[in-house]
Amino acid sequence: MTLVGKKAPSFKAAAVVNGDEVIEDFSLDQYLGKKHVVFFFYPKDFTFVCPTELHAFQARLADFEKRGAAVVACSTDTEQSHWGWLQMPKEHGGIQGITYPVVADTTKTIAANYGVLFGDYEGDEEGNLVATGPMIAFRGLFLIDKEGVVQHQLVNHLPLGRNVDEALRMVDALKFFEEKGEVCPANWSEGQDGLVDTHEGVASYLASH
């Protein structure tokens, strides 16, 4: 399932922002027309690989913000679990110091709508619902433009941590394309030249934005 080129699924859910404030009806819609969004899923609170990713995004948060991009995390844990983990120091395995929003997808519908829910429900012979898989999120990452359209997505299996520099590079590439109208070749990085693409798909995208 790919969401690239489509509107990012909208939602309202509880989230912890600034490390300790619970917002009950958090939504990505607040960024429409204002900011690009790097929206990433991680499997579970109080685990091993996940805090390395959350801290890595926090370490580069200023770089995302100066490019006009918001960073938002999400897992299928509750907001109470998020809050507790946020109070735990980094040296003890916690994510204290994370300031960007951490969304609580307790119904698992956000992960399902973004196509990153690991597992599914099936009915057994007695009509009972049975979960197949752990029902947690893969390591999905979505770059959403100011119009709410997904421009990039990446989904890793649980053991494979992501490269935050690559996420930042994709923000740079999107901004470069939007501002210059030029496309970005392989291994492109900020400061390099782009390519002029006369394909109708690119022209159509620019015309709609």
Q: Which helix (H) or strand (E) holds 54?
A: helix 49-59
- Please report, to the nearest 10 degrees, the dihedral formed by the alpha carbons of residues 2, 34, 138, 52 taken in order: 140
Whole-number Cα distances in Å, 33 to 50, 61, 174, 200: 30, 20, 15, 25
Please name the residue ranges forming H helices in 91-184: 109-113, 164-180
- 43: three-class secondary structure by DSSP: coil
**Tokens standing for 78?**
């509750």
Mode of pairing for the β-strands spanning 69-75 and 129-137: unpaired
Q: Distance (Å, rounded) from C-alpha 50 to C-alpha 112?
A: 19
Asked whether the CA dihedral 10, 150, 170, 194 is positive or negative, the reply is: negative
Q: 16, 37, 38, 50: which is the annotated catalytic residue? A: 50
Active site residue 50: yes
Would you please indicate which residues are annotated as catalytic (active-site) residues? 50
